[in-house]
A and B are shown apart, each in its own frame.
Chain A
Amino acid sequence: MRPADAHVRRAVHPGVGAVYRVEVAKIAAQSLPRLGALVCLLGPFAFAIIMKTQSAAPGDVLFGRWVHSSGFAIPFVVLGFAGTAGFPLLTSLVAGDIFAGEDRLATWKTVLTRSCSRQEVFIGKTLAAFTYSVAMVALLAVSSLLAGVLVVGTQPLVSLSGGLLSPGRAVVLSLEGWAIALIPVLAFTCVGILFSVVSRNSMAGVLGPPVLGMIMLLLSLLGSGVIVRTLLLTTPFEAWHGLMVSPPRFRPLLLGAVVAASYAYLSLDVARGNFMRRDFSGDLAVRPSWGKLGRGILVVAAAVGVLALASALDRTWIPSDRLQRSIAPTFKNLVAVEQTMLGRPDKARSLNVFAFCRRESVIRGPSKGSGDDWVCSLNVTGPRLGQISVSYGITVKPNGCYTAEGPASVVGPLHIRDAHRRTVINPLYVFDGCIVST
C-alpha cells in the first residue's frame, strides 16, 4: 500500500462517540469485566439455589428471613449485600482500570496520537465506564428478580411496614430500588475514575473504591450521627428503604442524590484536570513508592479518625419517639398479615397499638441511638382481640433499621401452620422495620 496515494483523507474530528465505541469494544474483550458480568448474571441464581437447599436464612439482612417464603425477597437481599461492598468493587473493575490500564499497557502514546482530543478521550472513557456500571446494575437487578421468581416463587412479600406486597408491586419496588442504587453506583464509578487517573496504577484504581467503601461502611457502623452518615457515599445505597415503608419517604433519596452528585463532580473535576495537564513522557506506569503509600495511608487514617470522632459526637437521629411511631403501625399490619394467614382476617380489624420504647442501659434521660438493648412494650387492643401486652427486644442499627424479636409465649413460634395447614413463617415472631429520616 502506498498510503500517500491510496487514500485521500479529510481532516476528521471523530468526537466522543468514536472514543466511546472503542472503549466499549475494549471492555467487552477483556476478561475481568466479562467475569464481573458473569458473576452478576449467575450470582443471584447461585444464591437463590443455595438458599433453597438450606433451612437457614440470612436474617441479619433486610428481607433475609423471607428468602424461603417469597421470591421477591431475593432481589432486595442481593441489593442489600451489593450495597455494602459489591457495588464499589463491581464498578471499579472497569472505572479503576479504564485510564490506568493504558499506563499498564503503555498504550497512551497509541491512543493519543490519533485524531481524538484529550477532552474527547476523557469523556468517552468516562461514559464507557458509566455504561458498564449501569449495565452491571441492570443485569444484577434482572437476574436477581428472575432468580427469585424462578427458584422460590411469586408469593407476596411482607414490606418493612408490615403490609403485604402483591407480586406486581414487589416487582415495581424491586426495580425502583435498583434504579435508586444507580445513583451512588455512578458516583463510585467517578471515584474509581479518579483513582485510575491519579494513581496510574490498575491495582490502586480497582481496589481503591472498594477500600474506600469499606472504610465508609465501618464509619457508618461506629455511630448513628446524622451529619457523618449523610456525608458518606455508602449511605445513598440505603435510600431504597424509604420506598419500603408506608408512606414512602423520599428525603433519603434526594439527600443521597445531592451527596452522590457532589462526590461525582469533585472526582471527575480533579481527574479531568490531572489528565488534561499530564505529560505522557514515559512508557511505564507510576508504581507507588513506599513513601507515597505511607503518606497516603496516614492521610486516610487521619480522615477516618476525624470522621470517627465526629461520628461519636454527632447528634443521633434515632430517638425513642420515632421508633415508637414506626414499630406500632408495623406490628399492627403484621397482626393483620398473620391473622389473614390463619384464615381469620376479621380478628385483626380495628386494632389499636400503642408502643413505648426505651433502652435498658439508659437510667436517666431520653433513650436514643443505635444498639441492641432497646425494649418496646406494645399494648394492643381490639374488639375481637381484647387487650394484649407484648414486649419486644429490639436491635436498632445505625442506619435506622431494626429487628424486633417477640416472646414466643405471646406471639407464637417461628413457624406456624396457616389456614391450609402449610408451615409458614410467623411474621410476628421476628420482624424488620426501618425508621427512615423524613
Chain B
Amino acid sequence: MAGIDSGPGSAPALDARGLVKRFGAIAALDGLDLRVERGEVRGLVGPNGAGKTTLLRTLFGLIQPDSGSIRLLDRDWNESAARTVEGVAGFVEDPRFYPYLSARRNLELLATLDGDLDRRRVAEALETVGLTDRSEHKVGGFSSGMRQRLGLAASLLRSPLLLLLDEPTVGLDPTGARDMRQLIRGLASDGTTVVLSSHNMDELDGLCDSVTVIRSGRAVWDGSMERLRAEAPAPAHRMWTSDDARALDIAASDPNVTATPAPEGGLVVSAERAVLDGFVIALGRAGIAVRGLELLMTALESLFYELTGERAGDERAETGELDGMRVST
C-alpha cells in the first residue's frame, strides 16, 4: 500500500462534520456530515445543486467552509496553510489543463508542483490511462474524455491514499468508462479510499461499497450498498397493452403489483422482476397483449427519488433521458 507520512491507519480516511457553506442566501452545504473509512469506496449522489461538487471542492480546500471541521487521512485541514492535504488527489467537474502544453508537459509541471518530478512516473501514469500515444499532443486538442483520463493520470502522480473523483466517467465512451471503473476498482483493491460522485446509480451499484445521498446540502441517507438495495422499492416499468383497463383490473387483484395509468399513455407498473414476469404471463392468459415494456426506473433510482424528494418526470425532462438509467446531474 502506498504510504505518505500519514497518521495512524485506524482513523477514518475522511471525517467531515457539520460542514456549512453559504453563497449569499443559498446554503450549498447545510450541516453536512460525512465519514468514510480507509479502503472504502463511497458514492455520492444527489440532484442538481445538492452540494456534491461543493463538498468535493471543500475537501480539496478550494472552498473554505463557513463552519464545520474536516479531517483527511487523520489530519486537520489547515485553513491557514490552505493547501491540499498530502495523499489526497482527484478532480472536480471536468479536469482542465494548459491547452498550449502537451499532456506529458502538463503532468510534469503538476508533478513539479507536488515537489516530486519523476519523468518515468509521468510516463507510467500516461500509460495507465492509455494516453501514451497522445502524450506529446497539445491538450488543447483533447476531447473531454481524454481530459478525464489525463485528470486521473494527474491524480495518480500524487500516489493517493484518498481519491476524490467528481463524475469520473462523464465524457468517456463506453470502453473508456469501463476502463475507468476497472482502474478505480484496482485502486480500491490496493487500499486507496475512493469517494466519487456519479450520475449513474447502477454505476455506483457496481463500484461502491457504500453510498451517501445528498439533498439540499445535507446527507439524507448514508449506508452500504447492501442496505440500499434492501431498502429499495420495486423497479418501475412502463407497459403498453392491448387493453389497459382490463390490465389494471388484473394488477389490482395482485397485492405485489402496483399499476397506474401513465398520463402520456400506457401503464406504470411497479413490481419485483419475478412478480412482473408472473403479471405479464397473467395478462397473456387473459388475452391481453403486451405491446411494449420499458424499464422506467431501477430499484435504486426509485429509492433515490424517494430519498431526495425529486420527481422522476422532472428529472427526465431536464436530462432528456428516456432509458431510465440517468438519475441526476
| B221 within 8 Å of A (CB atoms) | no
- Contact in complex: A1, B124 (CB < 8 Å): yes
Complex: how many Å from CA A3 to CA B105?
Answer: 20
Complex: how many Å from CA A14 to CA B84?
Answer: 12
| A169 within 8 Å of B (CB atoms) | no
Residue from A4, A112, A276, A280 whose CB has the most chain B CB atoms within 10 Å: A4
CB 8 Å contact bits of A91-124 with B (1 = contact, 0 = none)? 0000000000000011111111111111110000
Residues of A near B114 (CB, < 8 A) are 12, 14, 114-115
Chain B nearest CB: distance from A164 CB in Å? 50
Residues of B near A15 (CB, < 8 A) are 115
Q: Which of B53-61, B233-241, B277-285, B321-329 faces chain A?
A: B53-61
From 170 to 200 in chain B, residues with beta carbon under 8 angstroms from any chain A beta carbon are 186-187, 190-192
- Contact in complex: A281, B187 (CB < 8 Å): no
Nearest residue, chain B, Cβ from A6 = B124
Residues of B near A363 (CB, < 8 A) are none
Complex: how many Å from CA A109 to CA B61?
Answer: 10
CB 8 Å contact bits of A14-49 with B (1 = contact, 0 = none)? 110011011001100111000000000000000000
Chain B nearest CB: distance from A324 CB in Å? 59
- Contact in complex: B191, A4 (CB < 8 Å): yes
In-complex Cβ contact of B62 among A4, A8, A22, A109 (8 A): A109
Complex: how many Å from CA A293 to CA B105?
Answer: 38
- Contact in complex: A1, B128 (CB < 8 Å): yes
- Contact in complex: B96, A4 (CB < 8 Å): no
Complex: how many Å from CA A10 to CA B116?
Answer: 9
- Contact in complex: B109, A113 (CB < 8 Å): no
- Contact in complex: A11, B109 (CB < 8 Å): no
Residues of A near B93 (CB, < 8 A) are 109, 283
Residues of A near B97 (CB, < 8 A) are 105, 107, 110
Residues of B near A422 (CB, < 8 A) are none
Residues of A near B99 (CB, < 8 A) are 105
Complex: how many Å from CA A18 to CA B114?
Answer: 8
Chain A nearest CB: distance from B305 CB in Å? 27
Chain B nearest CB: distance from A78 CB in Å? 30
| B11 within 8 Å of A (CB atoms) | no
Nearest residue, chain A, Cβ from B92 = A109
- Contact in complex: A110, B95 (CB < 8 Å): yes
Nearest residue, chain B, Cβ from A108 = B62
Complex: how many Å from CA A19 to CA B87?
Answer: 19
Chain A nearest CB: distance from B14 CB in Å? 15
- Contact in complex: B113, A276 (CB < 8 Å): no
In-complex Cβ contact of B2 among A4, A105, A116, A280 (8 A): A4
Complex: how many Å from CA A295 to CA B27?
Answer: 29
Complex: how many Å from CA A14 to CA B157?
Answer: 14
- Contact in complex: A4, B159 (CB < 8 Å): yes
| A279 within 8 Å of B (CB atoms) | yes
| B112 within 8 Å of A (CB atoms) | yes
In-complex Cβ contact of B113 among A1, A114, A118 (8 A): A114
Residues of A near B125 (CB, < 8 A) are 1, 3
Residues of B near A279 (CB, < 8 A) are 23, 62-64
In-complex Cβ contact of B112 among A8, A13, A22, A109 (8 A): A22
Chain B nearest CB: distance from A197 CB in Å? 15
In-complex Cβ contact of B81 among A22, A26, A29, A117 (8 A): A117
| A292 within 8 Å of B (CB atoms) | no
| B259 within 8 Å of A (CB atoms) | no
In-complex Cβ contact of B1 among A4, A105, A116 (8 A): A4
Given contacts A9-B3, A283-B94, 8 further A-B contacts (CB under 8 A): A4-B160, A9-B87, A105-B98, A107-B97, A113-B84, A115-B115, A277-B64, A279-B62
- Interface positions of A (Cβ within 8 A of B): 1-15, 18-19, 21-22, 25-26, 29-31, 105-120, 276-277, 279-281, 283
